[in-house]
Structure 1
């Protein structure tokens, strides 16, 4: 997979790809991540990328021309499956979306900034709009990092134990059950005996029941949706 991220602040999104799972994925050659500074395609001697709104109003708007030029340059070199715009009013990211996108080949992620982008960018250039929650950040960079992490960890070979990602919360529409490790008893609190029994079918059934109970208690909306 190749992910191209268009941003006004590339330095804001560099660090997530320099540690842990994302770093290993890049080093293994499983995924390529390229950060592109939109200002390099800015207009005039000031590398302008934003302007005042037509009709008045507070806040600056990212102009269509620099974005169009950069996306056109990227598309001249390869085909892209999606051009994603990170925006609070996009579809809310969930595990299903992450699963879908993890099977794509090439993706462009556009990070919004200021008051957002000229609507024509969304109408003419973007194929999908994604939000990471019902709140507003200073820009789309942190949302893009969240999206990349959710996608990349699902690509085969990124996580050494690939079954781990398949048993995460939300993969089956339920929250994950409780997990325990050594010691079996700590300050009077013990690991459930079923987990020490070695009876794998019963352990699987216990985990299934616990996942359902936890989901019903904490996120009953997930049960309604399914």
Structure 2
């Protein structure tokens, strides 16, 4: 991976920095589930994987605790910025891996002690989410933990979508939160940095997938996304988190 200088784009708010591949934003806020990953990272029995690392907010925090970290992202420029930000004495514990879910990351079975997948799954279809969590379960060693963070439909920008979501869920649809025209719900200044497809999720859906893939859910709940734009914040359910472990 080249260490040539790459610049981060200007933030759109105090906490949100656009990604270079037009797949949303990296948040500079470490939410409670990411914080749990960072605290567990130095205790993990094997290396830790940060999927969708972007510019390395979580990877850098985990490295600072003494953990061995694999920062993974589909865009090599994000990884180059992460490398630039890594203190020289910590670079021997950082590995950069370019790839994306569900099938562009190749790791050995039981080679990881912890996995953070923050704000990535909501870009995938239901089938792709299942495939991704299945892979994570394979990569984890016994006692390893996975930390999943995603967005929900309980976002003020999605008020007009919420009745659609609730009706789908009432009908028993497995994946009620899929949106095929996501930018139309968002403010004009954010829309150019967003994909057309977006998949809002809730704790029960992600817990169901973890259980199906042989993981034991330890904690699940909503996250109040205090890092999001004020107009997006609603009732404290804008995000979700899951912590599960492999027996």
Same fold (TM > 0.5): no
Higher helix fraction (1 or 2)? 1
Higher strand fraction (1 or 2)? 2
Rg comparison, structure with higher value = 1
TM-score normalised by structure 1 residue count: 0.29
TM-score normalised by structure 2 residue count: 0.27
